[in-house]
Chain A
Amino acid sequence: MLYILQTALELGFLYALVAMALFLSYRVLDIADLTTDGGFVLGAAVSVTMAAAGHPILAVPAALIAGMAAGFVTAFLQTRLGVPSILAGIVTNTGLYTINLMIMGWSANVSLLKTDTLFTLFHNTGIGGDWYEVVLAAFVTILAGILLVLFLKTRLGLSIRATGDNMDMVRASSINPAFTITVGLCISNALTALSGAMVGQYQNTADINGGTGIVVIGLACLIIGETILGRRTIIKGAIASVTGSIIYRLIYAIVLYTKIVPVQGLRLITAIVVALAIAFPTIKEWFAFQKRKMAASRKGGN
């Protein structure tokens, strides 16, 4: 039982970085960035390949830079070449498949055997005892979260937030939206790649299909967290990403353990939950409208 909790915390913290990335792109910048799936695998591929070559620590900045590059391509397509934002992400994502295979030496799967990883290195320090994986995962994610919150309060961060909040205002002030969108997407994709990099070394493997559906799961985590914590402030958003992700992984673990639904069914449930959550305002409006129509027809009938 404790083992389940431990695994849920580990995965929860590691995947929370994806939820945080989506918080930045989807909530703050108001852009549905579908680079995520490929960007996650990109991080894993770079990280595992580097670790296999004996550089588990250097793997992290390398993955961050790779993620930024992916975000830059999506932003470039969108801001300079006029490709609609959703399509820009899909295009980059598709291209990344080949890039990722190339990084992994044209094989669909790379595993780490008896090589040092961040986790084994950290284990050797003795910090955290049996919970060392949780401690390391929590440390990386919380640090990234703090840096993100601090960044969003800087002048550049404020400009990025304004870009997603009121495009009219941004156009009338001296902010260049093409620049702020580019910086925002670079950072969000760096976070996604960081998640992939950590998960890759944690699981000692990178798989070309390891990112499929990650974007929807990340959104689900964000929505779960926001439902609990509200979504007014930046700090709440960052905490919601982490909380939501841990809760999602707990649910996942419970489903896996109790088998109340087949684990394969979880994807469908996740997709339905995300669709409903995003559709919620429209559904609410529809019900309100129907109620008004009913009331009006009742009145008219008398």
Chain B
Amino acid sequence: MLDIQNISKTFNPGTVNAKTAISGLSLHLNEGDFITIIGSNGAGKSTLFNAIAGVFYIDEGSIVLAGKDITFLPEHKRSRSIGRLFQDPLKGTAPNMTIEENLALAYLRNVKTNSFSRISKKDKAFFQEKLALLEMGLENRMRQPVGLLSGGQRQALTLLMATVVPPKLLLLDEHTAALDPGTAEKVLALTRDIVAREHITCLMITHNMKQALELGNRTFLMADGNIVLDVEGEERSHLTVEDLLARFKAGTGQELDNDRILLSE
């Protein structure tokens, strides 16, 4: 499904600020995998996502998504098959456009439509139905600008936008970290539902260790620009947060250091 071979990325090469954020990383995902990723601050988790999404081109290695080499494909073309959510709920929606206009933009992704066509009645009904699934009452506010919504509502809408045309790959970069606990819980539940319903292959960065072990079917631990631990199946089901921390220390010789990391809830 996703095949990453030996990729590296150095920022500001050849200067005093040179920083190798990803070094020789490889990974292979199967169709329908739901991977959780944890790691220290600056381990290169977001950089890995940016490399996959095409925010920049990698220095070395190759990225193949669903059999297609996307290593040199520009970002907006990759976005056709890759959905993305960021920590900041303001990043994923256009505040001065209405809810239905935002959804219409997301809907453009794969659907082959005429550039000059307008939002049809059928589209609206479809959006309304999808919005109702969020259970936030947004289906009755479709003509309001998104800027009026709360952070949690905007993040839920962004999630819907990223999946309204199911992407081949969904990248979630701590997408609930900036929300209050109740809302975060809700958005997480929605994520779980949508990913399961649409059978989306998904990578999720989280700072919640417990969540990392509970959600999904496989967990990566990242440090210094690489994956240092990759657990799944039987082994993963018996793993506790303490085991994980111990394995991290054994593997890297350092404590898992992340100022936001949550060891339990």
Select A158's contact among B86, B92, B97, beta carbons within 8 Å.
B97
Shortest Cβ distance from residue A176 to the other chain B in the assembled complex, whole angstroms: 4
**Cα distance A215–B102 in the bound complex, in angstroms:** 31
Q: Which residues of chain B from 103 to 122 have any CB-CB distance to chain A below 8 Å in the complex?
A: 104-106, 108-109, 113-119
**Cα distance A166–B96 in the bound complex, in angstroms:** 9
**Cα distance A150–B118 in the bound complex, in angstroms:** 9
Across the interface, do A166 and B91 meet the contact criterion of CB distance under 8 Å?
Answer: yes
**Cα distance A166–B86 in the bound complex, in angstroms:** 14
- Interface mask (A150-186 → B, CB under 8 Å = 1, otherwise 0): 1101111011011001101101111111000000000
Across the interface, do A174 and B145 meet the contact criterion of CB distance under 8 Å?
Answer: no
Shortest Cβ distance from residue B113 to the other chain A in the assembled complex, whole angstroms: 6
**In the complex, A299 has a CB within 8 A of chain B:** no
**In the complex, B61 has a CB within 8 A of chain A:** no
**In the complex, B224 has a CB within 8 A of chain A:** no
Across the interface, do A154 and B115 meet the contact criterion of CB distance under 8 Å?
Answer: yes
Which of B76, B77, B79 neighbours the largest number of chain A CB atoms within 10 Å of its CB?
Answer: B76
Interface band, chain A: 20 to 34
With a cutoff of 8 Å between Cβ atoms, the chain A residues found around residue B118 in the complex are 150, 153-155
- Interface mask (B47-61 → A, CB under 8 Å = 1, otherwise 0): 000000101000000
**In the complex, A232 has a CB within 8 A of chain B:** yes
Q: Check A168/B91 contact, CB under 8 A, given A156-B115, A175-B76, A232-B145.
A: yes
Across the interface, do A165 and B94 meet the contact criterion of CB distance under 8 Å?
Answer: yes
Q: Check A155/B115 contact, CB under 8 A, given A171-B76, A172-B53, A232-B145.
A: yes
Across the interface, do B91 and A172 meet the contact criterion of CB distance under 8 Å?
Answer: yes
Select B96's contact among A154, A156, A159, A165, beta carbons within 8 Å.
A165
Shortest Cβ distance from residue B123 to the other chain A in the assembled complex, whole angstroms: 10
Across the interface, do A166 and B93 meet the contact criterion of CB distance under 8 Å?
Answer: yes
**In the complex, B75 has a CB within 8 A of chain A:** yes
How many B residues touch A, CB cutoff 8 Å?
34
Shortest Cβ distance from residue B90 to the other chain A in the assembled complex, whole angstroms: 8
**Cα distance A201–B95 in the bound complex, in angstroms:** 41
**In the complex, B139 has a CB within 8 A of chain A:** no
Select A166's contact among B75, B95, B117, beta carbons within 8 Å.
B95
Shortest Cβ distance from residue A73 to the other chain B in the assembled complex, whole angstroms: 23
Across the interface, do B104 and A171 meet the contact criterion of CB distance under 8 Å?
Answer: no
**Cα distance A176–B75 in the bound complex, in angstroms:** 8
Shortest Cβ distance from residue B89 to the other chain A in the assembled complex, whole angstroms: 11
With a cutoff of 8 Å between Cβ atoms, the chain A residues found around residue B77 in the complex are 174
Shortest Cβ distance from residue A150 to the other chain B in the assembled complex, whole angstroms: 8
**Cα distance A175–B74 in the bound complex, in angstroms:** 11
Across the interface, do A155 and B114 meet the contact criterion of CB distance under 8 Å?
Answer: yes
Across the interface, do A173 and B93 meet the contact criterion of CB distance under 8 Å?
Answer: no
- Interface mask (B73-91 → A, CB under 8 Å = 1, otherwise 0): 0111101100010100011
Across the interface, do B116 and A154 meet the contact criterion of CB distance under 8 Å?
Answer: yes
Select A176's contact among B76, B95, B102, beta carbons within 8 Å.
B76
**Cα distance A128–B105 in the bound complex, in angstroms:** 43
Across the interface, do B97 and A174 meet the contact criterion of CB distance under 8 Å?
Answer: no
Shortest Cβ distance from residue B7 to the other chain A in the assembled complex, whole angstroms: 20
- Interface mask (B144-176 → A, CB under 8 Å = 1, otherwise 0): 010000000000000001000000000000000
Across the interface, do B94 and A174 meet the contact criterion of CB distance under 8 Å?
Answer: no
Which residue of chain A has the shortest Cβ distance to B119 in the bound complex? A153
With a cutoff of 8 Å between Cβ atoms, the chain A residues found around residue B117 in the complex are 154-155
With a cutoff of 8 Å between Cβ atoms, the chain A residues found around residue B95 in the complex are 165-166
**Cα distance A166–B91 in the bound complex, in angstroms:** 7
Which residue of chain A has the shortest Cβ distance to B162 in the bound complex? A172
Shortest Cβ distance from residue A79 to the other chain B in the assembled complex, whole angstroms: 12
Across the interface, do B109 and A174 meet the contact criterion of CB distance under 8 Å?
Answer: yes
Across the interface, do A155 and B76 meet the contact criterion of CB distance under 8 Å?
Answer: no
Across the interface, do A161 and B76 meet the contact criterion of CB distance under 8 Å?
Answer: no
Across the interface, do B80 and A155 meet the contact criterion of CB distance under 8 Å?
Answer: no
Q: Check A173/B115 contact, CB under 8 A, given A158-B97, A165-B96, A166-B93.
A: no
With a cutoff of 8 Å between Cβ atoms, the chain A residues found around residue B53 in the complex are 172
Nearest first, the 3 closest Cβ-Cβ pairs linking A and B are A165-B94, A156-B115, A168-B91
| 6 A-B residue pairings within 8 Å (CB atoms) | A161-B94, A168-B92, A169-B94, A173-B105, A173-B106, A177-B76
B-to-A contact residues, CB < 8 Å:
53, 55, 74-77, 79-80, 84, 86, 90-97, 101-102, 104-106, 108-109, 113-119, 145, 161
A-to-B contact residues, CB < 8 Å:
150-151, 153-156, 158-159, 161-162, 165-166, 168-169, 171-177, 232
| Known A171-B76, A171-B79, A174-B109; further 11 A-B contacts with Cβ < 8 A | A158-B97, A158-B104, A161-B101, A162-B105, A166-B94, A171-B55, A172-B86, A173-B105, A173-B106, A173-B161, A175-B79
